[in-house]
Amino acid sequence: MDLSMKWLNDYVKADMPIKEFCDGMTMSGSKVETYSAQGADITNVVVGKCVAMEKHPDADTLWVCQIDVGGEAPIQIVTSAQNVFVGAFVPVALNNATCYNHKDMSYMKIKKGKLRGVPSEGMMCSYEELGLEQSDVPYTNADGILILNDDPEFDKMTVGMDIHDALGFNDTTVEFEITNNRPDCLSILGLAREASATFDLPLNVKEPQFKGVDGSAKDFINVEVHNTKLCSRYMAAVVKNVKIGPSPRWMAERLKASGVRSINNFVDITNFVMLEYGNPMHAFDLRYVEGGKINVRNARQGEKITILDGSEVTLSPEMLIIADEKKPIAVAGVMGGEFSGIMEDTKTVVFESACFDGVSVRMTAKKINKRTDASSRFEKGIDPINAKAALMRALELVEELGCGEVVREYIDIDNAKKVPHTLKHDPDWINAHLGIDIPAEEQVAIFKKLGFGYDNGTVIVPNTRIDIERQCDLAEEVARIYGYNRIPSTLPMLSSVGEVTPRQRFEKKMVDVMLSQGFYETMSFSFISPRSYEKLRFDDSLKNSVSLTNPLGEDTSVMRTSMLPSLMTVCSTNLRARNLEARFFEVGRIFQPTGEKLPAESDVLGLCAYGSEEDFFTVKGVVEELMDALVIDARFVPVKDNKTYHPGRCADIYVGEEKVGTIGELHPAVTDAYDISCRVYCAEVNIPKLFDAKGEERKYKPLPKYPAVTRDLSLVCDDEVTSDEIIAVIKSSAKHLESVAVFDMYKGEQVPEGKKSLSYKLVLRKDGSMTDEEADAVVAKVLKALAEKNITLRA
């Protein structure tokens, strides 16, 4: 909402410095985005009078003019314009003035100099050089210098006067960001009311009145409202013998400062009233209302209308329209029809002021893709009582401008029959809600400043304040006018207890382990492209995902069912950025349809690594370290049929009988699909499952008193035998075994084809010294057990 300060000052004398005004309004709830002084970039331009002129001695097309700019002597200006004459009042850019250069849309400095050898001390300006438009100065039509003698307010101009003041081009516009509970503040009067309350200044608003001429609007038109739900009030007034012409300067100025171009007096009146009262209006030319009939009805299927902007719109039955006897003449609350509007030769005008349903207007405007000033106001809610005030104001303006005869009796079909809302005032509740102690009388004073009525403990809410429904709304009024920053600050006496839950501690530990293992934490989008499922060769169970009905694009159209799509994007991004070695992890959420209303959501730890240092076991080592830190006994079970992974380098991770995740090297087809030329290792672990599987905190074990004996065994077995199987045999057959770990794997010339060699370190310890003989006996037993599985000592 752009507020003209001139306009505001018609109602409230808010003449404090503009910064103070803006800060005050912001702090009372009407947030100021910015403000700008009109024509602030045009400087040092004054009114001058041409007192003498002669042809340039050396140039036929140039004139040497003597211009009185209020100084002791006239100044000399050379011009090529041909429309200046002795006695002409003109805008004069003095030495060092700034003007607008409309050709390259920038500002230019004016310096004194010489034109064809004759000194020139400034420049006379056209309207464009003042940054104005033709509609700002409708009386000029020549290209040349702006001749001020034609201005309607010429008699108020004096030589030497600043051009902004002379042309009324001296307003300040304040831009407000109005919250959507306050549509009343999308009007000059609403903001005037706020300014009056904020700065405690009187508000001078009179109820609009018109005299009118005898007659009734019904003699001209007949209005029928067919859908009273979507149109709770419809008012129509007729103005006859209209004289279409330009608006007076004060009106044009105020419109311009509000960002609205002046068109003609009747169109301007509707815009002026909309801005002043916040109530959109429409003006029809009676000639084009066929049959003198106005029907407020739903559109018929396939009905069409060409609207004011010249585009043809196809209507549908849920849309409310204004139609004459035969055809639609306006889309209710959105835009008028092309031929029903005001023309140069319009003789009789029908003013419409109505109250259309906000949701309906919004849907219609959206469907036909025409959001207008009017529709956005209706969307937020229009008050039926205000609709009448707006109409009265329009009729008052017609008489003030003397541009037509108002037919006294107007049409009013009011199905809203709104009565002002009242609320019992509970000052103690308000104080308790806010944590302050403002006396009841002071609260009432605030209500009155804001235009509320007050009668014996009852607050009467102004009809435009549709946001005030209950006591807490009154509390807000008190708080914001009293001043939020004057309310004390206290700390609540909380009876709650803060807590980090075991699950939160678990996740924190997980993150700490990942960071300590050199994995950087990422944060990626949880919606992804369904194409990534193909790239990752997911099977149907993982492809089945929650889809958005209105995604921004295909790339972000489904909710991920795995962290892999996100991790792959991270890998691609980094490889493209030439980060050739990297480890990443993310605790992210995945989503799976359940058939219930809401899908299942679970948090997953996803990790990936690539680079010359990485292999399956470096990444597995990370997972092992993680499991160890979380006190989880995990198993890695080979998986050959997971198409996402390398068939020989993939394992499911189990805790007990529960599968908690998967680890592996990605299948080359997957890395190819992502245009990645190196090997990528990934793992995913389901956090809730892991959390459920976590073990008890470890207890202390006494430190060993006796030395351990170690024995290294190099074994040969078939390729298919897994290390886990061998370890299981060792564990079950070795007495006094403290630990066993594989430390080497060999395949090649030294062992037969189809076989491999694995080396283990056994640490044996007992409660007492262990002799070599005892240790050898243990090893012998282990070897015997291994031999039964066809695992032998390497020769």
Pick between residue 520 and residue 654 the one whose CB is nearest to other proteins: 520
Pick between residue 182 and residue 756 the one whose CB is nearest to other proteins: 182
User: What tokens appear for 334 in the block?
Assistant: 């959105």
Pick between residue 243 and residue 366 the one whose CB is nearest to other proteins: 366
Q: Cβ of residue 607: shortest distance to other proteins, in angstroms?
A: 11
Asked if 328 contacts 322 with a C-beta cutoff of 8 angstroms, the reply is yes
Q: Cβ of residue 103: shortest distance to other proteins, in angstroms?
A: 32
Q: Cβ of residue 741: shortest distance to other proteins, in angstroms?
A: 22
Classify burial at 600, counting beta carbons within 10 Å of its beta carbon; exposed 0-12, middle 13-18, buried 19 or more.
Answer: exposed
Q: Cβ of residue 181: shortest distance to other proteins, in angstroms?
A: 5
3-state SS, 107-162, equals EEEECCEEECCEEECEEECCCHHHCCCHHHCCCCCCCCCCCHHHCCCHHHCCCCCE
Pick between residue 432 and residue 780 the one whose CB is nearest to other proteins: 432
Q: Cβ of residue 628: shortest distance to other proteins, in angstroms?
A: 18
Asked if 726 contacts 760 with a C-beta cutoff of 8 angstroms, the reply is yes
Say how many Å lie between the first and final Cα of the chain, rounded.
Answer: 91
- Closest of 223, 210, 213 to residue 350, by C-alpha: 223
Q: Cβ of residue 401: shortest distance to other proteins, in angstroms?
A: 37
Rg of the chain (C-alpha set): 42
C-alpha span between 549 and 551 (Å, rounded): 6
Place of tokens 């310096």: 111
Q: Cβ of residue 21: shortest distance to other proteins, in angstroms?
A: 16
Q: Cβ of residue 560: shortest distance to other proteins, in angstroms?
A: 11
Q: Cβ of residue 448: shortest distance to other proteins, in angstroms?
A: 19
C-alpha span between 21 and 346 (Å, rounded): 42
Place of tokens 């009011």: 414
- Closest of 140, 273, 296 to residue 225, by C-alpha: 296
Pick between residue 456 and residue 485 the one whose CB is nearest to other proteins: 485
Pick between residue 205 and residue 546 the one whose CB is nearest to other proteins: 546
Q: Cβ of residue 549: shortest distance to other proteins, in angstroms?
A: 5
∠ at Cα 73 (71, 75), nearest 5°? 85
Q: What is the four-CA torsion angle of 773, 774, 780, 783, rounded to 10 degrees?
A: -130
Q: Cβ of residue 500: shortest distance to other proteins, in angstroms?
A: 6
Our measurement of the distance from residue 191's CA atom to the centroid of its chain's CA atoms, rounded to an integer in Å, reads 24
User: What tokens appear for 497 in the block?
Assistant: 């207890």
Pick between residue 411 and residue 475 the one whose CB is nearest to other proteins: 475
Q: How many residues belong to the chain? A: 795
Pick between residue 26 and residue 98 the one whose CB is nearest to other proteins: 26
Q: Cβ of residue 686: shortest distance to other proteins, in angstroms?
A: 16
C-alpha span between 136 and 256 (Å, rounded): 8
Asked if 45 contacts 68 with a C-beta cutoff of 8 angstroms, the reply is no
Q: Cβ of residue 513: shortest distance to other proteins, in angstroms?
A: 11
Three-state DSSP at 234 gives strand
Pick between residue 168 and residue 588 the one whose CB is nearest to other proteins: 588
C-alpha span between 602 and 605 (Å, rounded): 10
Place of tokens 């032998």: 792
Listing DSSP states for 534-567 in one string gives HHTT--HHHH---B-SS-SSGGG-EE-SSSHHHH
Pick between residue 246 and residue 599 the one whose CB is nearest to other proteins: 599
Who contacts 743 (Cβ-Cβ below 8 Å, separation ≥6)?
A: 712, 759, 760, 761
Pick between residue 120 and residue 517 the one whose CB is nearest to other proteins: 517
- Closest of 339, 335, 355, 386 to residue 225, by C-alpha: 355
C-alpha span between 39 and 168 (Å, rounded): 11
Q: Cβ of residue 645: shortest distance to other proteins, in angstroms?
A: 22
Which residue type, as a one-letter code, is found at position 52?
A
User: What tokens appear for 234 in the block?
Assistant: 């419809």
Asked if 587 contacts 511 with a C-beta cutoff of 8 angstroms, the reply is yes
Pick between residue 142 and residue 472 the one whose CB is nearest to other proteins: 472
What's the Cα-to-Cα distance from 162 to each of 42, 46, 140, 157, 169, rounded to whole Å?
A: 10, 4, 19, 9, 10
Q: Residue 636: which H helix or E strand, with range?
A: strand 634-638
User: What tokens appear for 328 in the block?
Assistant: 């639609």
User: What tokens appear for 183 in the block?
Assistant: 């549509």
Q: Cβ of residue 186: shortest distance to other proteins, in angstroms?
A: 14
C-alpha span between 250 and 243 (Å, rounded): 18
Pick between residue 521 and residue 633 the one whose CB is nearest to other proteins: 521
User: What tokens appear for 457 in the block?
Assistant: 């403990």
